[in-house]
Amino acid sequence: MTLVQNLAWDDTVLPFQLDNSDVRGRVARLDGVLGGILRQHDYPAQVEALVAEMALLAALIGQTIKLRWKLQLQVQSKGPVRMITTDYYGPTADGEPARIRAYASFDADRLTDGLPFDQVGEGYFAIMLDQGQGTEPYKGITPLAGGSLSACAEAYFAQSEQIPTRFSLSFGRSTEGNGPEHWRAGGVMLQHMPKASPDVAGGGTGEGGLLQPDDLVEGEAGENWSRVNILLDTVDALELIGPSVAPTDLLVRLFHEEQPRVFDAQAVRFGCTCSEDRVRQSLSIYSARDIETMTTEEGRVTADCQFCGAHYDLDPATLGFDAQADESKGSAPGDT
């Protein structure tokens, strides 16, 4: 398969199942998605790496959600990187791409020369699922521990879902041929599907007693899980990122004895949901006096989207609930 053909796998998530092991999983490749996310900001290298890892986790985890649902991964930390937020929006219709956006807030003067995960301190990793209007959003959290964001995600699934889960991720700057340097990321997610809920009353073997994937399987299931993880450990970072190895070829190389079976791939794109209407709606709770405090010397109210960098320049006279009330008083039947 040529390089051009392999690039067709960029910005996709391929779900699969290992029939001999009761294990399901996904292979993700991100290229343009990361470009769309990271070009909006001038992040230091450690922050870029954390955002790339979060976006890759969102793609792998988000592929399971239904149409139009929203998945959010979030890190809240007392460290130099205070927050990372990644949103995954399910497709709006069958055959349409999912959308991902992400950003981070950090204190530049507190960043160190250490590893990316060293830039987050005490805090939590959260997964939130919004199933749409009329439903109660779900939120699960786990402490920031284990040395990577992927380890935090593994602990979340062990603690909150009691599903053994493993991630193998690779991300960084890459070049193909004579093209410009850009970010690429790739990864594999594995999940063992237990036939019954395990007994984990005694706590786990992880940091602070957190449950770990291996704490949830035993007997034949444990042997299957261990074997598949040993096979995954043989993967090379460049195999994960691509583009020289297609995800289907990677699955055959790693798991051919486990009878891998693939399903339809899900395309993902960088996408933001911000709009002028949404900005106006968010400002509709403020009074005219509040809006006045937000008005610049030029007599405008401005807002910038942290995700995509869009800039909004608005007339303060049209903002706030006072303006909405005036508009409502002046309207006649049939005007709306």
Question: Phi and psi for 45 in degrees, rounded to 5?
Answer: -60, -40
**pLDDT at residue 262 greater than cutoff 70:** yes
Query: Could you tell me if 258 and 287 lie in one domain?
Result: no
One-letter amino acid of 284: S
Question: Phi and psi for 307 in degrees, rounded to 5?
Answer: -80, -50
| pLDDT, tens only, 184-237 | 999 999 999 866 455 555 566 777 777 776 777 777 888 999 999 999 999 999
In the predicted model, what is the mean pLDDT of residues 77-91? 96
Query: Could you tell me if 288 and 254 lie in one domain?
Result: no
Query: Could you tell me if 229 and 207 lie in one domain?
Result: yes
List the Cα angle 266/249/226 in 5-degree steps: 90
pLDDT value at position 334? 37
Query: Could you tell me if 158 and 282 lie in one domain?
Result: no
Q: Is residue 49 part of a domain?
A: yes
The residue with tokens 């392999």 is 6
Residue 198 or residue 276, greater confidence: 276
Residues 173 and 181: beta-carbon distance below 8 Å: yes
Lowest mean pLDDT among 1-15, 149-163, 227-241: 1-15
Query: Could you tell me if 255 and 293 lie in one domain?
Result: no
Residues 63 and 98: beta-carbon distance below 8 Å: yes
Measured between alpha carbons, how far is 238 from 334 in angstroms, rounded to an integer? Answer: 61
Containing structural domain, residue 291? 276-330
Query: Could you tell me if 195 and 284 lie in one domain?
Result: no
Residues 74 and 95: beta-carbon distance below 8 Å: no
One-letter amino acid of 207: E
Measured between alpha carbons, how far is 156 from 169 in angstroms, rounded to an integer? Answer: 17
Query: Could you tell me if 148 and 85 lie in one domain?
Result: yes
H/E segment holding residue 12: strand 12-18
Counting other chains too, the contacts that 64-67 makes at CB distance below 8 Å and 24 or more residues apart are 65/90, 65/129, 66/90, 66/131, 67/91, 67/92, 67/93, 67/94
In the predicted model, what is the mean pLDDT of residues 176-181? 70
Lowest mean pLDDT among 6-15, 57-66, 146-155, 231-240: 6-15
List the Cα angle 74/77/79 in 5-degree steps: 140
Residue 50 or residue 320, greater confidence: 50
Query: Could you tell me if 193 and 311 lie in one domain?
Result: no
In the predicted model, what is the mean pLDDT of residues 139-154? 95
Q: What is the CA radius of gyration of the chain?
A: 23
pLDDT value at position 128? 94
The residue with tokens 């992880």 is 206
Q: For position 43, which CATH number holds?
A: 3.55.30.10
331 — pLDDT class (breaks 50, 70, 90) = very low
Share of the chain above pLDDT 90, in %: 52
Retrieve residue 290's tokens: 């509040």
**pLDDT at residue 333 greater than cutoff 60:** no
pLDDT value at position 90? 93
Q: Is residue 336 part of a domain?
A: no
Measured between alpha carbons, how far is 272 from 53 in angstroms, rounded to an integer? Answer: 19
Q: Is residue 335 part of a domain?
A: no
Q: For position 302, which CATH number holds?
A: 3.90.1280
Query: Could you tell me if 103 and 188 lie in one domain?
Result: yes
Domain boundary pick from 270, 287, 317: 270
Q: Is residue 237 part of a domain?
A: yes
Residues 47 and 106: beta-carbon distance below 8 Å: yes
Which DSSP letter does residue 157 get?
I
Nearest to 88 by CA among 66, 118, 117, 111: 66
Q: What's the structural domain count of the chain?
A: 2
Q: Is residue 50 part of a domain?
A: yes
Share of the chain above pLDDT 70, in %: 87
In the predicted model, what is the mean pLDDT of residues 2-24? 80
Query: Could you tell me if 10 and 67 lie in one domain?
Result: yes
Measured between alpha carbons, how far is 163 from 126 in angstroms, rounded to an integer? Answer: 16
Residue 313 has a CB neighbour count (10 Å cut-off) of 11
Q: Is residue 15 part of a domain?
A: yes
Cross-strand bridge partners of residue 106: 81
Q: Is residue 157 part of a domain?
A: yes
Domain boundary pick from 270, 291, 312: 270
**pLDDT at residue 69 greater than cutoff 50:** yes
The residue with tokens 């008005």 is 295
Cis peptide before 243 (omega within 30 of 0): yes
Retrieve residue 86's tokens: 């990644």
Q: Is residue 127 part of a domain?
A: yes
**pLDDT at residue 101 greater than cutoff 50:** yes
Class of residue 249 by CB neighbours under 10 A (exposed 0-12, middle 13-18, buried 19+): middle
Residue 161 or residue 331, greater confidence: 161
| Identity of the highest mean pLDDT range in 240-249, 259-268, 321-330 | 259-268
Query: Could you tell me if 110 and 208 lie in one domain?
Result: yes
**pLDDT at residue 88 greater than cutoff 90:** yes
Query: Could you tell me if 69 and 193 lie in one domain?
Result: yes
Domain boundary pick from 226, 244, 270: 270
Please report, for residues 191, 199, 206, 223, 228, the alpha-carbon distance to residue 18 in angstroms, rounded to integers and kept in the order given. Answer: 10, 25, 27, 14, 9
Q: What's this model's pTM, rounded to 2 decimal places?
A: 0.82
H/E segment holding residue 126: strand 123-130
